[in-house]
């Protein structure tokens, strides 16, 4: 029996899950934060600090763990953008591998909350470094695909290098917020493009 053409690809389903999970748990934990809190004065991980938010921290840390789990099928789902051209497929596979490592780092951010000190800092640093690398790899690969909407790649690369520039010039929590939510928007745009594109059996993929 022929499969329904309305079936969502793995990347799109998991991409939406990533956005919903992270935003829902983050804003719940923000609502439960007992003191004033904002992107210009606090890093996101402060929401998961049990010393500052004993109850709300559970939600933020659980959100990081669940989001990290959802990131795993998201990167696996990039197989839908494979072609037979090695110079397009190779950086995409590399991006998948790095992306899966970033998923583990995000899970560890939730496991080791901010109040645990060094383990949390190591996980957080690893996640942002891996996220920087993966955005370069996947966007370079996708730019070489005729079905990919090129403005999305330009946006993804812009987020990456603007983050680097902002970090060098000003630093602080606002840069982290910009990176995280800018990356989530990229996930959303890519999920839409993946849903809208031609099936992977197109001539582009067979070249």
How far is the C-alpha of 184 from the C-alpha of 142, rounded, in Å?
17
Per-residue model confidence (pLDDT) at position 198: 60
Per-residue model confidence (pLDDT) at position 179: 95
How far is the C-alpha of 14 from the C-alpha of 96, rounded, in Å?
14
How far is the C-alpha of 11 from the C-alpha of 77, rounded, in Å?
4
Per-residue model confidence (pLDDT) at position 146: 87
Domain that holds residue 146: 10-206
Domains held by the chain: number? 1
Answer yes or no: is 2 within a domain.
no
Answer yes or no: is 126 within a domain.
yes
Joined together, the tokens standing for residue 82 give: 């494979």
Answer yes or no: is 95 within a domain.
yes
Answer yes or no: is 138 within a domain.
yes
Q: What is the value of pTM for the model shown?
A: 0.90
Per-residue model confidence (pLDDT) at position 205: 56
How far is the C-alpha of 207 from the C-alpha of 195, rounded, in Å?
21
Per-residue model confidence (pLDDT) at position 2: 46
How far is the C-alpha of 102 from the C-alpha of 129, rounded, in Å?
8
CB 207 within 8 A of CB 83: yes
Per-residue model confidence (pLDDT) at position 41: 94
Helices 173-196 and 118-143, packing angle to 10 deg: 40
Answer yes or no: is 37 within a domain.
yes
How far is the C-alpha of 15 from the C-alpha of 70, rounded, in Å?
8
Instruction: Give the DSSP per-residue string, 63-95.
Output: HHHHHHHHHHHHHHGGGGG--S-HHHHHHHHHH
Answer yes or no: is 3 within a domain.
no
Consecutive 10-residue averages of pLDDT for the chain (207 residues): 64 97 98 94 96 96 98 96 93 97 98 96 96 95 91 94 91 94 97 82 50
Answer yes or no: is 4 within a domain.
no
Per-residue model confidence (pLDDT) at position 95: 97
Q: How many residues does the chain have?
A: 207
Answer yes or no: is 1 within a domain.
no
Per-residue model confidence (pLDDT) at position 171: 86
């Amino acid at each position: 029996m022929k499969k329904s053409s309305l079936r969502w690809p793995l990347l799109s389903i998991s991409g939406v899950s990533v956005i919903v999970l992270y935003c829902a748990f983050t804003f719940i934990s923000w609502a439960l934060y007992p003191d004033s809190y904002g992107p210009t004065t606090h890093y996101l991980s402060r929401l998961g600090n049990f010393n500052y938010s004993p109850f709300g921290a559970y939600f933020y840390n659980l959100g990081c763990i669940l989001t990290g789990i959802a990131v795993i099928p998201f990167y696996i789902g990039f197989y839908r953008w494979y072609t037979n051209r090695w110079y397009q497929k190779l950086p995409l596979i590399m991006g998948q591998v790095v992306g899966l490592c970033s998923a583990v780092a995000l899970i560890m951010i939730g496991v080791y909350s901010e109040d645990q000190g060094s383990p949390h800092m190591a996980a957080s640093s690893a996640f942002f470094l891996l996220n920087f690398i993966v955005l370069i790899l996947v966007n370079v690969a996708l730019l070489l695909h005729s079905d990919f909407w090129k403005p999305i790649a330009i946006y993804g690369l812009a987020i990456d290098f603007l983050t680097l520039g902002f970090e060098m010039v000003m630093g602080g929590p606002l840069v982290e917020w910009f990176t995280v939510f800018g990356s989530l928007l990229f996930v959303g745009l890519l999920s839409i493009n993946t849903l809208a594109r031609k099936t992977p059996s197109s001539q582009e993929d067979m070249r």
